[in-house]
Chain A
Amino acid sequence: MSKRNPYIRKLPMDWWMKQLFYTKYMIREGSSVFVTLYSLILAWGVFRLSQGEVAFNGWLDALQSPFAILLHIIMLILALYHTITWFSLAPKAADLWVKGKKLDEKVIIAAHYCTFVVVTVFCLLIITL
């Protein structure tokens, strides 16, 4: 008679706290909630702009509150975290071959950062000029 009786372990609820790699992954995933939140705040601003100057200034004033500033700092940190972690993963989704050799990961990551800087400077110019 077979004595087999395979034992199936349960996945603990806090599986993602037990390994730093998983925790970082969860923060990366969670950061998208804050990125979405920021986009909504921004979209709300555009909507208020369409309603005229008073409405838009009201929106600007609301952003001056300590809570709004704190929230923005958190959102900025998480957006940067999201960006950095995705950039470092980007080479895995790129299949670029030059002269029969796979393009070096560093080149792909560097290209992402360059684009990031160029776009940021471009946006800053539009906003400030």
Chain B
Amino acid sequence: MSELTVEIDILRYRPELDSEPFTQTFEVPYTPELSVLEALQYIKDHLDSSISFRWSCRMAICGSCGMMVNGVPKLGCKVFLRDYYPKKVSLEPLANFPIERDLVVVMDDFIQKLESVKPYIIPGENKCLSEGPYQQTPEQMAKYKQYSMCINCGLCYAACPQYALDKKFTGPAALALLARYNRDSRDNGEAQRMKIVNQEEGVWGCTFVGYCSVVCPKDVDPAAAIQLLKVESSKDYLIGMFKPD
């Protein structure tokens, strides 16, 4: 039986050996149910054990396996060889991030940005324990739920030309996370977070390319979060003109 195969190009970079990345091609047996991540595991097990990539859950929930698949940011475990077969598949580390090794990127800047938006509930008045939990209606939850579905995969940063051009830009996932807390009825930290939103590196660094929302594997729609924050930021500015505090 002649086996069907598919060619996979991988952009490799071994910091101790290479001064710049290079492409290496592998031939992998093709089956329609094989995900790109599984193809990588096949390569590591059978062809070249030195190849590095990140993964954990294999089910699009941990957000570890982001990479460029034929130039588009994707989760390796959520994309299949059959989506490309018989064409060649080319894998590169996520764009706009420094390459640590092979398909592994340095995500420090991304994590710092997520941390910078005060991603926790800032309560107004601290309720006494005896008063019971902070309650929320399904409608109040619906206002932010979508923005809370982010798995921190970083695909939206790889899709964002504004982040590519200026690394100071807070970026899609962090701003969507900020919106998630600002829109939460239990939160009272909006005034603090609006300072981050109003900056040039905040929402105004976004020119509404909109590709972040296209590539997001969880339909978070960070582009929408940012445009809505722009509306809030404008309101904030207008109110500030009449009532400076």
Chain A residues at the B interface, C-beta cutoff of 8 Å: 3-9, 11, 15-16, 18-19, 21-22, 25, 29, 89, 91-93, 95, 97, 100-102
Contact = CB atoms under 8 A, between A and B. Distances in A.
Given A92-B208, A93-B224, 10 more contacts: A4-B100, A5-B15, A7-B99, A18-B71, A21-B211, A25-B211, A93-B227, A95-B228, A100-B142, A102-B142
Contacts of A5: 15-16
Contacts of A18: 71
**A16, A91, A92 pick with most chain B CB within 10 angstroms:** A92
Query: Which 9 pairs of residues, A with B, have the shortest CB-CB distance?
Result: A6-B98, A100-B139, A5-B15, A93-B227, A92-B224, A3-B16, A7-B99, A92-B227, A8-B98
A22 B231 contact: no
B210 A25 contact: yes
**A3, A7, A18, A19 pick with most chain B CB within 10 angstroms:** A7
18 contacts: A3-B15, A5-B15, A6-B106, A7-B15, A7-B21, A7-B98, A9-B95, A9-B99, A21-B209, A22-B161, A22-B209, A92-B210, A92-B223, A93-B224, A93-B228, A93-B230, A95-B228, A102-B142
Interface string B119-149: 0000000000000000000110011000000
Interface in B199-237: 207-211, 213-214, 221, 223-224, 227-228, 230-231
Contacts, number: 66
A95 B143 CA distance: 9
Interface of chain A: mostly helix, strand, loop or mixed: mixed
Contacts of A95: 228, 231
B20 interface: yes
